[in-house]
């Protein structure tokens, strides 16, 4: 599975390189992942043939659904992490008792894979398919060319990174001009690379439908692995990974309604509902910043000071004292945080409102860790007056060199 769109032969952030704090953030957020069963509903809506399948939430329900689907069938955990097959999250079943037993083992449990852990709340029961060959097909974005990129391999059912590591020639990389879209010569190249020259036009039309789905639903990734060839010479997607650009969700209302809130971190959900963007990391410096660019620059700055950010928190341009208070509450819940660094440039957001929110948060909580505040821009003098009149433990600084000294010392400094 692709964890992020690939550029020219490597991850866009640089394979093998040590990631900066801001680069690591690019691996989080920015995309809404769909479950397999949701992705297959999308495929059906675009006229793509997929095996009959049903979703169940309880062992007895899954068992009854398997009777509707028939034997043999495949039962799959519906989680938003890859590697579930190797972790025991997929089972080929030849009798109904086997289905019930597997459902009882998995539902409500944690599935641990190489890509993380997730609770299993639902299972997909799917009709088994007569597989003759397995292929890999994906569409992502080539960041270096800023165009859609089709990736194709005859080694389906495997992690594509493993395939390319063994032999890069086993992967076809096909950039697509967004002005022309997928044209017949692209499809001929794909079919020739996969050895599918005997396919009928109906099957070849599959690739057009997949490309149209990728473009119209504003995806960052559409991965079919495996795409199988059946004994009837049909091409059928057996699994789908579909990531949609979160910035496009206001246009994709049908997809937004599919969001699985149970898969979200509670603090990230609370921040989002308050109009903030929040991502947990593993450092000790809690960050509160306005604007994603300044937030990532601040995180890199913290790392350059020999410390590690505990989070990414962008309060946005319309933050209120209530928003600031909520942000502080979230930061104080982050494990291991021993310092909070507030770095605000007031353009749309007013610095005095930020200062009021800081004092409200500190008054509401017994904060025993240093709070470092750097403010600049609109209403900054008023903000300094607000903070100066407070008895709460706040260190107000003027520039980043003072912040550097503070963070390197790891203690409160005199300014």
Active-site residue numbers? 136, 223
Nearest to 290 by CA among 353, 372, 347: 347
CB 273 within 8 A of CB 246: no
Nearest to 357 by CA among 329, 395, 335: 329
DSSP label of 349? S
333: which 2 tokens?
């819940």
DSSP label of 308? -
In whole angstroms, what is the distance from residue 40 CA to residue 74 CA?
A: 15
Residues 6+ apart with CB under 8 A from 202: none
In whole angstroms, what is the distance from residue 165 CA to residue 157 CA?
A: 15
Cis-peptide, bond into residue 72, ω within 30° of zero: yes
- Long-range Cβ pairs for the range 316-319 (8 Å, 24+): 316/275, 316/276, 316/277, 316/290, 316/349, 317/290, 317/291, 317/347, 317/348, 317/349, 318/275, 318/348, 318/349, 319/275, 319/276, 319/290, 319/349, 319/353, 319/354, 319/357
Total residues found in the chain within this entry = 415
Exposed, middle or buried, 27 (CB in 10 Å: 0-12/13-18/19+)? Answer: middle
CB 37 within 8 A of CB 55: yes
């Amino acid at each position: 599975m692709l964890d992020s769109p690939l550029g020219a032969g490597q991850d866009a952030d640089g394979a093998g390189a040590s990631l900066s704090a801001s680069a690591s953030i690019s691996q989080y957020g920015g995309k809404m992942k769909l479950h397999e069963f949701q992705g297959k509903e999308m495929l059906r809506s675009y006229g793509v043939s997929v095996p009959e399948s049903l979703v169940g939430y309880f062992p007895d329900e899954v068992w009854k659904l398997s009777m509707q689907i028939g034997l043999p069938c495949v039962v799959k955990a519906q989680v938003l992490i890859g590697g579930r097959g190797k972790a025991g999250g997929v089972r080929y079943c030849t009798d109904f008792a086997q289905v019930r037993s597997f459902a009882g083992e998995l539902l409500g449990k944690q599935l641990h894979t190489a890509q993380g852990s997730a609770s299993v709340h639902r299972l997909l029961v799917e009709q088994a398919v007569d597989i003759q060959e397995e292929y890999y097909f994906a569409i992502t974005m080539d960041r270096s060319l800023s165009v859609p990129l089709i990736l194709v391999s005859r080694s389906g059912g495997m992690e594509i990174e493993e395939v390319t590591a063994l032999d890069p020639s086993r992967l076809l990389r096909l950039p697509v001009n967004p002005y022309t879209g997928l044209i017949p010569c692209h499809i001929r190249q794909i079919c020739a690379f996969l050895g599918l020259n005997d396919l009928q036009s109906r099957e070849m039309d599959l690739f057009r439908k997949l490309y149209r789905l990728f473009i119209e639903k504003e995806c960052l990734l559409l991965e079919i692995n495996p795409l199988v060839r059946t004994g009837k010479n049909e091409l059928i997607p057996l699994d789908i990974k579909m990531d949609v650009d979160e910035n496009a969700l206001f246009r994709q209302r049908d997809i937004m309604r599919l969001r699985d809130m149970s898969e979200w971190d509670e603090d990230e959900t609370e921040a989002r509902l308050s109009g903030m963007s929040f991502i947990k990391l593993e450092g000790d410096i809690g960050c509160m910043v306005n604007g994603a660019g300044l937030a990532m620059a601040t995180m890199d700055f913290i790392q350059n000071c020999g410390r590690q950010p505990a989070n990414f928190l962008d309060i946005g341009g319309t933050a209120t004292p209530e928003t600031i208070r909520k942000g502080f509450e979230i930061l104080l819940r982050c494990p291991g945080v021993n310092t909070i660094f507030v770095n605000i440039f007031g353009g749309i957001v007013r610095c005095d409102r930020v200062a009021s929110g800081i004092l409200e948060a500190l008054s509401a909580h017994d904060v025993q860790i240093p709070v470092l505040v750097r403010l600049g821009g609109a209403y900054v003098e008023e903000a300094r007056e607000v903070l100066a009149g407070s008895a709460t433990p706040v260190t107000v600084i003027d520039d980043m060199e003072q912040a550097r000294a503070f963070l390197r010392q790891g203690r409160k400094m005199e300014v």
